[in-house]
Amino acid sequence: MKLFLKLLILTLVLVGCKSPEARQPVTVTSGSFIKESAERNKKLNQRERQRIEAIMAQNPEFDYVASETGFWYYYHTKVERDTITPGFGDIVNFDYDVRDLQGRTIYSEQEIGTQNYAMDQEELFTGLREGLKLLKPSESATFLFPSQKAYGYYGDNHKIGTNIPLMVKVTVNNIQQNQ
């Protein structure tokens, strides 16, 4: 009887210590989340583009320019003479304000203050970084950024929420070229 109990306990210990097996999913939907996400983003981008195009149609007095990277802008002050535009490491001194597409101020120029930005070496949202590369000293422009060129899905964790397209007026004061 003692032998039987010892064998039973040994069997239970061995069976109980068996490593767990991974469970297989009941259904397999490979890539469905990514496909759904891509479709949502396409629809979001199309809606934002339509809103921006409506703004441009309502303001025919401005000569809008489409950037190569997916945003639009017009100049308030354009410098025709041949001057520099910022390159990697150049320090750009600029002022800007941030508004939503209805024109409501999110961050005022006074609130932000004059900025110094080392081109492509510091944090700055994608659209503004690309927009600064288009401007020369003393130029001023208003940019219309779809949300993916602004703060995107995450917002800025302060005043700009998820997927908010922006209207940003920028004035470049000067550019100090990197030696």
Q: What is the percent of the chain with per-residue pLDDT over 70, rounded to a whole number?
A: 85
pLDDT over 90 at 112, yes or no? yes
Tabulate helix, strand, coil % of the chain (nearest 5).
30, 25, 45
Average pLDDT score over the chain: 88
Q: 61-176 — its CATH code?
A: 3.10.50.40
* Contact of 109 with 62, CB cutoff 8 Å: no
Q: What is the mean pLDDT of residues 52-64?
A: 95
* Contact of 174 with 91, CB cutoff 8 Å: no
* Contact of 52 with 144, CB cutoff 8 Å: yes
pLDDT over 70 at 124, yes or no? yes
From 52, 151, 76, select the one nearest 106 (Cα to Cα): 151
Q: What is the pLDDT of residue 29?
A: 61
Q: What is the pLDDT of residue 16?
A: 61
**Extents of the domains making up the chain:** 61-176
* Contact of 52 with 72, CB cutoff 8 Å: yes
Our measurement of the distance from residue 164's CA atom to the centroid of its chain's CA atoms, rounded to an integer in Å, reads 10
Distance CA 7, CA 11 (A): 6
- Among the residue ranges 28-37, 62-71, 120-129, 160-169, the one predicted with the least confidence is 28-37
Distance CA 149, CA 129 (A): 10
Q: Where are the beta strands (DSSP E) in 58-120?
A: 65-66, 72-77, 91-100, 105-107, 115-118
